[in-house]
Amino acid sequence: MNTVGEKLQRLLGKDKVVTDPTIVRLYSREATGLEPDSLPTAVVLAENASDVSRLLAFAYQHDIKVYPQGSATSLSGSALPSDGVVLSLERMNRVKHVSVVDGIAVTEPGVRIDDLNIELARYGYMFPVDPASSSVATVGGAVNSGAGGMRGAKYGTMRGWVLGLEIVLPDENGTVMRVGCKTVKCRQGYDLVRLIVGSEGTLAVVTEATLRIIPAPEAVVTVLAFFDKLADLVEAAVEIKEERLQPLIMEFMDNCTVERAVEFLGWPQKVAGHMLLVSVDVNREATSRVLAQLENIMRRSGASLVYTAGSLDEANRRGLFDLRRSLFPAQVALARSLTGSERVLVYIEDIAVPPSRLAEAVEGLRRLEEKYGLPMMLGGHIGDGNLHPAVGFDPEDADAKRRVEAWFFDVMKLAVELGGTVSAEHGIGVMKKDGLRMELESLGSLKALELMRMIKRVFDPKGILNPGKVV
């Protein structure tokens, strides 16, 4: 008898609790491809904060583990469930309120980032955080993962754009409370909002978010350039910053990756070399001047090939973003052709290093590729130093899996050696707990882990909420 499931059905209503193992299994998958140790008992499809509150009070009383879930696009295993109950927020998907005057949008956690932006576009506004998964990633997931994206160099990550939250605590009452404000300035004692942002569902369940919104840029100019020498590309990036441009997007792919992506896309063009893709937002009157300025920097620094576009539409139409967007599908195709297997798993790293250390990072990563014999695709957000090296393998191949895991850790070590961090935007989850410890140890900050564990106990004394993640 599925007694927990039945009790939950009595508590919340039959239509909100799924116990069919086939469906439960669907809710136990994660973008990482990790498999749960054991299958959850049920999936709760909450419709409001009160459902969440009753579930958490019940879970507290009966020591049942609860795994909150948005759309499970986590790349660190932070949405991976185990025995217990999956709490899906997908039915809480309303944009409740938009105010251009107050510069806010209030949404439920299940709203997809792209859907929010479609709504905001009606006012000429946008939400600036743009994780690559924005077509499926939810607001609640983005809050919990502290998501970033391509525009991170200019706009930072979720922590700068969440003003207030409604949360539910995993305590005896399933306490529902609001923290933070509706205004950008808010000094409400200790910053509990920012503690929840990036906590990967381990401290509380987010049931509503008040987000800061801004006007969409008037115009965006884009330059796509290719360099034979990596040092020249780095020089171009340095000059952009010295000329006081603040790019919206500054993306990078190394020469091997460009070659593989061009092959994947089946491009007839002769593009080759290290790729630098830069978009800058401008007033419309400045379009041609800034475009010329960017092109000039590229050519002066030694670019062999430069494409330009005076608007986002033009850049999209002419495919200037296509190479960058092909990074992950190209990696999957590469892994398939190398392993001869249809079923491949791609591990995407997510380190950040100070942009001044980029060349050393690329060299180090290519050394690791050679060391482990793992063909790597390498791209990233060079504006903020965030690199996403990726390798693919056949998960049935135990030897390959071991090599990939060793590579994964060595990449994190490289980042820390270069003064960087093991996770820029994907989070710790289960896959980077060792990495987090290594990073903090290298900073002489192991005590921080102790503080984090104590903070976890403050919010979740019984350790029932998304256990085993982060700390």
Stretch that binds its own copies, among 20-28, 176-184, 302-310, 359-367 (CB under 8 A): 176-184
User: What kind and span of H or E run contains 165?
Assistant: strand 162-168
**Residue 122 interacts with its own copies (CB under 8 A)?**
no
Q: Which of 118, 177, 231, 292 binds its own copies (CB under 8 A)?
A: 177
Tokens 């007694």 appear where? 3
Q: How far is the CB of 439 from its own copies (least distance, A)?
A: 7
Q: Which of 73, 144, 331, 386 binds its own copies (CB under 8 A)?
A: 386
Query: Within positions 430 to 459, which residues make up the interface with its own copies, using CB under 8 A?
Result: 436, 439-440, 443-445, 447-449, 451-452, 454-456, 458-459
Q: By CB neighbour count within 10 A (0-12 exposed, 13-18 middle, 19+ buried), where does 432 fall? A: buried
Query: Within positions 411 to 430, which residues make up the interface with its own copies, using CB under 8 A?
Result: 419-421, 423-428
**Residue 462 interacts with its own copies (CB under 8 A)?**
no
User: What kind and span of H or E run contains 44?
Assistant: strand 42-45
Backbone angles phi, psi at 219, to 5 degrees: -155, 150
Q: How far is the CB of 111 from its own copies (least distance, A)?
A: 21
Q: Cα torsion at 137, 138, 141, 145 (round to 10°)?
A: 50
Q: Which of 3, 22, 122, 190 binds its own copies (CB under 8 A)?
A: 190
Query: Within positions 79 to 108, which residues make up the interface with its own copies, using CB under 8 A?
Result: 99-104
**Residue 365 interacts with its own copies (CB under 8 A)?**
no
137: left (phi over 0), alpha (psi -120 to 50) or beta: beta
Q: Where are the beta strands (DSSP E) in 193-254?
A: 205-212, 214-215, 219-227, 249-253
Q: How far is the CB of 458 from its own copies (least distance, A)?
A: 4
Query: Within positions 139 to 168, which residues make up the interface with its own copies, using CB under 8 A?
Result: 145-146, 148, 152-153, 156-157, 159-160
Apex CA 461: angle with CA 456 and CA 462, to 5°? 115
Contact 221, 279 (CB under 8 A): yes
Query: Within positions 305 to 334, which residues make up the interface with its own copies, using CB under 8 A?
Result: none
Q: How far is the CB of 164 from its own copies (least distance, A)?
A: 9
| Binding flags for its own copies, 338-357, as an x/- string (CB under 8 A) | ------------x-xxxxx-
Q: Residue 74 and residue 142: Cα distance in Å, rounded? A: 9
